[in-house]
Structure 1
Amino acid sequence: MAKNEKAKAKTEQAKGKTKETLGRAVGNERLTAEGRAEQSKGDVRQAKEKTKDAFRH
């Protein structure tokens, strides 16, 4: 299950980066903000998984 969560984190980060870049390109502040938020969710998920891994080893 941890690998699944790590994959979700990477996917969220990538989607967020894409949204942010697209938002900046077209001048859409809302899309840019959504992208940043999605990246943050991915970062938090990834940090949580790294913390779990640290306690497993």
Structure 2
Amino acid sequence: MAGKGIDPELRAEWREARRRLAESIERGDRRHAERIAADERRRARLRRLTFGLLGRRAA
């Protein structure tokens, strides 16, 4: 029972699907990295504010 084989159109569809998947993964990775950076900036800002207020009250 031999199959039809893989024609060039099917290969092109697979190539396009693989390209879209790779772009989607890259986009998700970028969003993840941006979120981590934003969270770190927020934590640093809160740390500065908190220690700044604690330092003034103690003095």
User: Which TM bucket (shorter chain)?
Assistant: 0.5 to 0.7
Q: Distance in 1 between matches of 2:9 and 2:34?
A: 38
1:38 aligns with 2:20: no
Count of residue pairs the alignment pairs up: 33
Cα deviation 1:16-35 (Å, max 9, x = unaligned): xxxxxxxxx81400000000
SS in 2 for 1:26: coil
Q: Which runs of 5+ in 1 are unaligned?
A: 1-24
SS in 2 for 1:54: helix
Bigger RCO of structures 1 and 2 (CA < 8 A, at least 6 apart): 1
Q: Which runs of 5+ in 2 are unaligned?
A: 37-59
Q: Percent identity?
A: 18
Q: TM-score, normalization: structure 1? A: 0.54
The answer to which structure has the higher helix fraction is 1
Runs of 4+ in 1 over 6 A off after TM superposition: none
Aligned equivalent of 2:27, options 13, 32, 48:
48
Computed over aligned residues only, the root mean square deviation of the Cα atoms, in angstroms, reads 1.4
Larger-gyration structure (1/2): 2
